[in-house]
Amino acid sequence: MNTMTSAPARQIVVVGNGMVGARFAGEAARLDPAGERAHITVVGQESEPAYNRVLLSGIVADDYTPDQIRLPVPDTPGVTIRTGTAATAIDTQQHTLALDDGTHLTYDELVLATGARASFPPITGVAHPDGTPGEGVTALRDLADCQRLLSLVRPGAPVVVLGGGVLGLEAARGLTSRGARVSVVESSPWIMRRQIDKPAAKILGRLYGELGVTVHSWRVASRWIPGTGLELDDGRILPGDVLVVTAGVRGNIELAQSAGIETDHGIVIDDHLSTSDPRVHAIGDCAQHPGGGAGLVQPGWEQAAVLAKRLIGTDPSAAYRGSTPVTRLKAEGIELTSFGTVHEDDDHPDLDTVTVSDPHGGRYAKLVVRDERVVGAVLLGFPEAAATVSQLHDTGAPVPADRLALVQGLPTAAPQDDPADSGESLVCRCNAVTRTDIEQAWLDGARDREAVACSTRATTGCGGCVRDVNALLADLNSANPAPTG
């Protein structure tokens, strides 16, 4: 027991009880289980407990139920969670945070994990003037959006997804599982424009087509007509009872902005995850780090872990230096992994690129290598290779010599000087018994397996060679009938 007088716990206030804010609280609780170093208050606007937003498309697909995607709540004395409470203003001079119930929280450190919201493109009918979604329109950003979508979707009815990025494509796949007829509209030249190259997108589009999803790339929508569908710039109308808008997000930066904290697209942070105010930190989708990485959960969780170490003081020098996250499409029946540099010209002098294209088989692989390291990949329909390649990328390990075997997920060809090849093949590995040994035993009179086992020990280990030994004996016995008597 520490009898020294210790300083009172510091107050850390977290704004946002989403995936990243809750993760920060969890990491901090793990580092400081008794809450001796810091007391953490998490303020969340939603009345729901924190949940795993990454799996919302799984709810759309009916793979998950809402109660299955809840995030763990730290059960420690050092953490308080206040749901249904919004932060309204930061006073960086007084170190206080104003809440919408009229109260204030005082902080030593403030963590902004306010996330992002769906951005509705300026298309007639998509959004009301106050920014709320139009009739028959929904985003897919939170559980309420998800519930709204599912209340609108009926089996057999048409749905339009506006935005052919990862979330849009996952939603489209999930909606087909619920029996919807889905169209996807993407304003870029191809779907998943940021993550994959055009040939991959073409094959991915074909795969979606086979699932009954029509993909319209490089098409701009001009009007949402409730009850009818989405009108495109070429005058076509895609039928739709529902419009799902997955066309990008905007960081929730207003709270920081009005407190005079530096913002750009997001709240500007450095490698210490601090904003222009050193007592205010930002992590996750609301934050903008020079290394990029917003939009996926992995960088947000990495940031939460680093900031927890810094603020709890277990590793005050911890730093976040950006990350190149791996994109993994979660769509049943489609295996797509991509990361890093995939858009460079194939004849770029520093890059070696392996490309395998198999439109008929619905497969495509691109492996981009610089200085023997994987710097980018698109793997569509190569699930076994994807795991290996993305780990090579994460660890910075050099690529194997046979790069084609790598993308195909095959083991490297066996070396010429095979170690096991000592000229004699083992029949019983456990007891190192060769074919010759068994033949000799037969010559010495062993006619059945028991007798062979007695003289050679074959089959007495794992027993995996019983069949082989029996077959060998059958051959020997039939070729040379045992003398009778």
Cβ proximity to other proteins: between 30 and 343 the closer is: 30
Cβ proximity to other proteins: between 298 and 314 the closer is: 298
Cβ proximity to other proteins: between 88 and 388 the closer is: 388
For the CB of residue 415, give the shortest distance to other proteins in the complex, in Å.
5
The alpha carbon of residue 364 and the mean position of all alpha carbons in its chain are separated, in whole angstroms, by 20
Cβ proximity to other proteins: between 133 and 168 the closer is: 168
Residue holding tokens 């799902």? 244
Cβ proximity to other proteins: between 126 and 283 the closer is: 283
For the CB of residue 456, give the shortest distance to other proteins in the complex, in Å.
11
Cβ proximity to other proteins: between 290 and 398 the closer is: 398
Question: For residues 206 and 199, what is the distance between their CA atoms, to the nearest angstrom?
Answer: 11
Contacts by 440-443 with C-beta closer than 8 Å and gap 24+?
A: 442/473, 442/476
For the CB of residue 297, give the shortest distance to other proteins in the complex, in Å.
8
Cβ proximity to other proteins: between 224 and 339 the closer is: 339
The secondary structure of the chain, three-state, reads: CCCCCCCCCEEEEEECCCHHHHHHHHHHHHHCCCCCCEEEEEECCCCCCCECHHHHHHHHCCCCCHHHHECCCCCCCCEEEECCCCEEEEECCCCEEEECCCCEEECCEEEECCCEEECCCCCECCECCCCCECCCEEECCCHHHHHHHHHHCCCCCEEEEECCCHHHHHHHHHHHHCCCEEEEEECCCCCCCCCCCHHHHHHHHHHHHHCCCEEEECCCEEEEECCCEEEECCCCEEECCEEEECCCEEECCHHHHHCCCCECCCEECCCCCECCCCCEEECHHHEECCCCCCCCHHHHHHHHHHHHHHHHCCCCCCCCCCCCCCEEEEECCEEEEEEECCCCCCCCCCCEEEEEEECCCCEEEEEEEECCEEEEEEEECCHHHHHHHHHHHHHCCECCCCHHHHHHCCCCCCCCCCCCCCCCCEEECCCCEEHHHHHHHHHCCCCCHHHHHHHHCCCCCCCCCHHHHHHHHHHHHHHCCCCCC
Question: For residues 421 and 402, what is the distance between their CA atoms, to the nearest angstrom?
Answer: 23
- Give the interface with other proteins as residue ranges (CB under 8 A): 30, 52, 54-55, 58, 63-64, 68-73, 75, 298, 326, 328, 330, 335, 383-384, 386-388, 390-392, 394-395, 397-398, 400-402, 411-415, 417, 419, 429-432, 454, 457, 459-464
Cβ proximity to other proteins: between 46 and 394 the closer is: 394
Cβ proximity to other proteins: between 86 and 387 the closer is: 387
For the CB of residue 82, give the shortest distance to other proteins in the complex, in Å.
19
For the CB of residue 277, give the shortest distance to other proteins in the complex, in Å.
31
β-bridge pairing 373-380 and 334-340: antiparallel
CB atoms within 10 A of CB 89: 13
Cβ proximity to other proteins: between 222 and 324 the closer is: 324
For the CB of residue 225, give the shortest distance to other proteins in the complex, in Å.
37
CB atoms within 10 A of CB 188: 15
Contacts of 474 (CB under 8 A, 6+ apart): none
State the helix-helix crossing angle for 449-456 and 466-479, rounded to 10 degrees.
110
For the CB of residue 198, give the shortest distance to other proteins in the complex, in Å.
24
For the CB of residue 47, give the shortest distance to other proteins in the complex, in Å.
18
Cβ proximity to other proteins: between 73 and 150 the closer is: 73
For the CB of residue 309, give the shortest distance to other proteins in the complex, in Å.
13
Cβ proximity to other proteins: between 67 and 264 the closer is: 67
For the CB of residue 411, give the shortest distance to other proteins in the complex, in Å.
5
Cβ proximity to other proteins: between 49 and 248 the closer is: 49
Question: For residues 46 and 320, what is the distance between their CA atoms, to the nearest angstrom?
Answer: 28
For the CB of residue 188, give the shortest distance to other proteins in the complex, in Å.
24
For the CB of residue 434, give the shortest distance to other proteins in the complex, in Å.
13
For the CB of residue 113, give the shortest distance to other proteins in the complex, in Å.
16
